[in-house]
Amino acid sequence: MSEQAPLVSIAICTYNGEKYLAEQLDSLLRQTYSPLEIVLVDDRSTDGTWALAKHYAARFPQLRVLQNTENLGYQKNFEKALALCRGTYVCASDQDDIWAPTKVEKLVSNIGDNLLIYHDSEFVDADGQSLGRYMSDEFTMIAGSNPYAFLFFNCVSGHALMVRKSLLETVSPFPSLGMYDHYLAFMASTQGHIAYLPETLVKHRRHSANATDVLGSRKPASRYKITQTRMMRENEWLRLCAQISTHEASQLATQLWKAAKNRTHNLVNPAFGYLVWKHQHRLVQIPKKKSYHGFGFVFRQIWGLKAKSLFKFS
């Protein structure tokens, strides 16, 4: 790349990630793009993660490392790490993936005037072996300016995105609940445009310690608790979307939130179900699973947590 190329930062957050961290750091350090900085923030690991991070930092000057004085949690640790980045463009990195050497170079070449760009990923197991599935098998990858698609679902994974530093500066601080990647995708699509690069540039490792469960491989301890948590999270997310933007999508979010906010302690919510049915072509664009489409999905939105409890969802 040209010496005049913009600085790109990679924010990597760690917590008890010693097992896979070296392989991931090696893949970040092999990036073909320059100039590049890597900012690692450790969230008070109790294994050998911090010692390993310091060992790498002593060898590679493009790597800056620091450790929190207290555990911040996944969301706030990424907020901190991304804020510490100095690049014109900023990527987020998990501690246990494997990046293609050309990932950063390709994202910079294709971001254009967009605020955010993301790519496809391949799922691999704990040993790095392919599971034969890709992120694009699970989700329809959204591009352009379409915040409605992000009111219920998200296809922009943190490990796959690159954003302009200018966007991060306008959307901080992050909300305490939810996932930072979903938040960035919604905000980018309300303020500008998102680009999607249909190339597989990360091997995304799936194991029991992952912060998310995209493939739905974990067995929930209680369907009731899972349903309750999902409802509370969705309600809070809709409330945030109603407040954090002046885009028309926030007006719909306001209507949805007002109709949904009592779902966790009542029997039925016909107004909420009606809104989902009326706007389903906007709201259900990302999932590819048939269970999320059509009347069946809309019908499930009518019932409150009390009704689901009576139906023995627990």
Profile the chain (314 residues) by mean pLDDT over runs of 10 residues: 83 97 98 98 98 98 98 96 98 98 98 98 96 97 97 97 97 89 96 97 81 53 71 90 87 94 84 94 95 87 75 52
- What integer pLDDT is reported at residue 207 of this predicted model? 66
Query: How many CA atoms are closer than 13 Å to the CA of 270, on its beta-carbon side?
Result: 0
**E strand or H helix that includes residue 25:** helix 18-29
State the CATH class of domain 8-205. Answer: alpha beta
Q: List the structure tokens of 280.
A: 């389903």
Query: How many CA atoms are closer than 13 Å to the CA of 307, on its beta-carbon side?
Result: 13
| Rounded Cα–Cα distance for residues 102 and 119 (Å) | 12
pTM for the whole structure: 0.90
Tokens 């957050």 locate to 13
The residues pairing with 144 across neighbouring beta strands, listed in sequence order, are 194
Tokens 């699509």 locate to 189
- What integer pLDDT is reported at residue 31 of this predicted model? 98
Residue 90: closest CA among 107, 73, 69? 107
Render pLDDT for 116-153 as a digit per residue (tens, 0 to 9): 999 999 999 999 999 999 999 999 999 999 999 999 99
The residue ranges of every structural domain in the chain are: 8-205, 223-310
CB of 272 within 8 A of CB of 245? no
- What integer pLDDT is reported at residue 308 of this predicted model? 67
- What integer pLDDT is reported at residue 217 of this predicted model? 53
- What integer pLDDT is reported at residue 36 of this predicted model? 98
Residue 245, sorted as left (phi over 0), alpha (psi -120 to 50) or beta, turns out to be: beta
Q: List the structure tokens of 64.
A: 């800056």
- What integer pLDDT is reported at residue 9 of this predicted model? 98
**Residues with Cβ within 8 Å of residue 173, at least 6 apart in sequence:** 79
- What integer pLDDT is reported at residue 192 of this predicted model? 96
| Rounded Cα–Cα distance for residues 183 and 237 (Å) | 9
